[in-house]
Copies of this chain bind each other. A is one copy, B any other.
């Protein structure tokens, strides 16, 4: 039964209570070095009695290892990042480490401050989805190992990274659409501060590889939110009336597309198919349920943390983990009803 309002007991209190030196206490606490079993018992008893708990600040100062990790993501309340954060947190916890979490809102200045906070906290390592280009230098200023989250990892070959296989996911989605007979697919692409996501280029490349007409793959930009996805879809409807399907770079925008279709009096998937990307839970609530490419968000969090831990303790090379996506078929995608699409055979 820990103390009644006094200050936290220290290793010295425990030493006094058990009649040994603080060195001995430290030894039984850390488990290294030989201690007489009877002495150990007495110390353990004193620990229990005093309610002693190691001061991590002192430990960290002395050893140079804070046993704390940092996570910098765009937005904790975005389910994609929340899921990833959850994975990182669970893995960190399993390794007896704590996680400091920050949201940057894609704001370079905020990100800079977060990185500084993490450096000051002397975290053992950092997981980050970089919001801005010039982070390259910022990241290099940092002593602690860094693991990059997401496809921007490619811009930092010197750091390990973990991301989903966007190219494969895009192929999965497009092949499904093409196989169903879609030849005119609108793209809903996100634009981060870094410019366009690799989603567009992968889609374009695969589309042409299939011998299809690039002109029939129009794209509209949005900002990864439902609202912006809805607006962008409306623009797509105007620009490309013959379009039979919409493929969004994330699920939130796809949900927006479903809403936009409904608002335009179109029935999904009868009049228009809608394909998402992420696998976020929200996609299962819509009507029709959202067919999507599931990214292993949680696992990316776990994997990234594993890589970081490896980098911290020296084992573990620089690796770029690329986790596969998975097609989740629900009801928002079907064969196009009419034959209003242009057809081409592959060359």
Residues of chain A touching chain B, judged by Cβ–Cβ distance below 8 Å, are 2, 7-8, 51, 53-58, 60-61, 66, 68, 75-77, 79, 82-83, 85-86, 89-90, 93, 98-103, 110, 113-114, 116-117, 119-122, 141, 143, 226, 255, 258-259, 262, 281-282, 284-287, 298
Does A99 contact B101, Cβ atoms closer than 8 Å? yes
Does A57 contact B284, Cβ atoms closer than 8 Å? no
5 contacts between A and B (CB under 8 A): A7-B143, A55-B120, A93-B114, A99-B100, A99-B102
Q: How many copies does the complex hold?
A: 2
Give the most central of A101, A102, A141: most B CB within 10 Å: A101
A141 CB contacts on chain B under 8 angstroms: 2, 51
Does B226 contact A122, Cβ atoms closer than 8 Å? no
Residue from the list B8, B57, B120 in contact with A61, Cβ < 8 A: B57
A85 CB contacts on chain B under 8 angstroms: 76-77, 101
Does A122 contact B79, Cβ atoms closer than 8 Å? no
In whole Å, how far is A83's beta carbon from the nearest beta carbon of chain B?
Answer: 5
Does A103 contact B86, Cβ atoms closer than 8 Å? yes
A2 CB contacts on chain B under 8 angstroms: 141
A284-B226, A285-B285 known; A83 vs B77 contact (CB < 8 Å): yes
The chain B residue with its CB closest to the CB of A76 is B86
CA distance A165 to B82 in the complex (A): 26
Does A120 contact B281, Cβ atoms closer than 8 Å? no
A58 CB contacts on chain B under 8 angstroms: 61
Does A116 contact B53, Cβ atoms closer than 8 Å? yes
CA distance A282 to B102 in the complex (A): 23
A121-B56, A282-B281 known; A101 vs B101 contact (CB < 8 Å): yes
In whole Å, how far is A140's beta carbon from the nearest beta carbon of chain B?
Answer: 9
